């Protein structure tokens, strides 16, 4: 197998592309041959030493998602067979061309998508779905998605529509918002978002993919009884929240993260996604690919995540 390794913590100087023997699946695992691998901000946080790895995941191989063909199954696996095409999440080890995954943490790859498009889907869609579940989004809800230009934001807006709500994507870059709008998503510049959201009776839920002081701004966009779910700290680790406004609006302020959850919790989430939305994934719900880098260019892919103008998913190509 070929894989990206973090040799300690630091900057790109600790990143290497290496080769090793293919891993062997344990009884409840599958081994997936992956051409493409999704790169996520969490990978950069892990490289920097700011994102602990679960104890049962590879400690030095980053990557939180997998997409490809099953090439081996563990002794207790009945759900999948060699040759099945799957996508899903992993606790680590995803930036490789051979990836171990729990058999209950993957679902069938949408037939409508090619290999690269499928690789852009799992982490973004499942993270968005988890946040929308936490926010109890359903029919008739108005949902603001702050930080809409990445994969999770785009997925969240598409899923809101499929759940019967109306999404408004908020961002600070007019150019990025134009690209989002081309996907059929209603958008608003952050500076003028309050007027747009107010015209719809304010938001019943807000999915915040920025964090920081924007959380306080979220409250001003929320209707009474609304819910805020924070999914990222890209904009800062702390926020000053006006408690009188939080109390007055009887608002729920929540956070969520996938990686540190138990295998059982992740399996339940994947199962719920399959049950409720698998029919639309790849057809009405897909994620644009921003850029594809060769595996040898992993450091450039990490840098791309922080560059202005990024739109959609960054992928690594490990070759055929």
pLDDT tens, position by position, 168-210: 999 988 999 999 999 999 999 988 999 999 999 999 999 999 9
Q: Name residue, tokens 């499942």.
A: 126
Residue 69 is predicted with a pLDDT of: 98
In the predicted model, what is the mean pLDDT of residues 103-117?
96
- What sign for the dihedral angle of Cα 93, 94, 95, 99? positive
pLDDT at 309: 84
pLDDT above 90 covers a percentage of the chain that reads 88
pTM, whole model, 2 decimals? 0.95
Average pLDDT of the residues of the chain: 95
pLDDT band per the 50, 70, 90 thresholds, residue 49: very high
Domains and CATH numbers, the chain: 2-120+259-317 (3.90.180.10), 125-255 (3.90.180.10)
pLDDT of 10 > 80? The answer is yes
Above 90 in pLDDT, residue 142? yes
Dist CA 181 CA 169 (whole Å): 9
Q: What is the pLDDT of residue 304?
A: 96
User: What sign does the dihedral 8-315-286-158 (CA atoms) show?
Assistant: positive
Q: Is 182 within 8 Å of 205 (Cβ atoms)?
A: no
């Amino acid at each position: 197998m070929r894989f990206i390794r973090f040799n300690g913590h630091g900057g790109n100087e600790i990143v290497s592309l290496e080769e090793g023997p293919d891993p062997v699946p344990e009884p409840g695992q599958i081994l997936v041959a992956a051409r493409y691998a999704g790169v996520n901000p969490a990978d950069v946080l892990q490289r920097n030493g700011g994102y602990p790895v679960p104890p049962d995941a590879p400690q030095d191989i980053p990557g939180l998602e997998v997409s490809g063909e099953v090439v081996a199954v563990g002794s207790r696996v009945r759900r999948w067979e060699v040759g099945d095409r799957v996508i899903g999440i992993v606790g680590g080890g995803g930036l490789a061309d051979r990836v171990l995954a729990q058999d209950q943490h993957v679902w069938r790859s949408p037939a409508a998508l090619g290999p690269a498009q499928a690789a852009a889907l799992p982490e973004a869609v499942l993270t968005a779905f988890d946040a929308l579940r936490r926010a109890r989004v359903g029919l008739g809800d108005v949902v603001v998605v702050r930080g809409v230009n990445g994969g999770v934001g785009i997925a969240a807006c598409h899923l809101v529509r499929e759940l019967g709500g109306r999404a408004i994507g908020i961002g600070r870059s007019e150019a990025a918002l134009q690209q989002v709008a081309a996907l059929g998503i209603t958008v608003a510049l952050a500076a003028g978002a309050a007027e747009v959201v107010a015209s719809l009776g304010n938001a019943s839920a807000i999915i915040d993919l920025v964090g920081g002081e924007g959380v306080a701004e979220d409250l001003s966009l929320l209707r009474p009884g609304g819910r805020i779910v924070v999914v990222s700290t890209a904009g800062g680790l702390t926020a000053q929240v006006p408690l009188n406004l939080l109390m007055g609006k009887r608002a729920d302020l929540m956070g969520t993260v996938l990686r540190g959850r138990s295998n059982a919790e992740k399996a339940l989430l994947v199962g719920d996604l399959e049950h409720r939305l698998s029919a639309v994934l790849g057809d009405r719900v897909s994620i644009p690919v921003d850029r594809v880098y060769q595996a040898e260019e992993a450091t450039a892919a990490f840098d791309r995540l922080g560059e202005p103008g990024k739109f959609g998913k960054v992928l690594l190509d490990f070759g055929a």
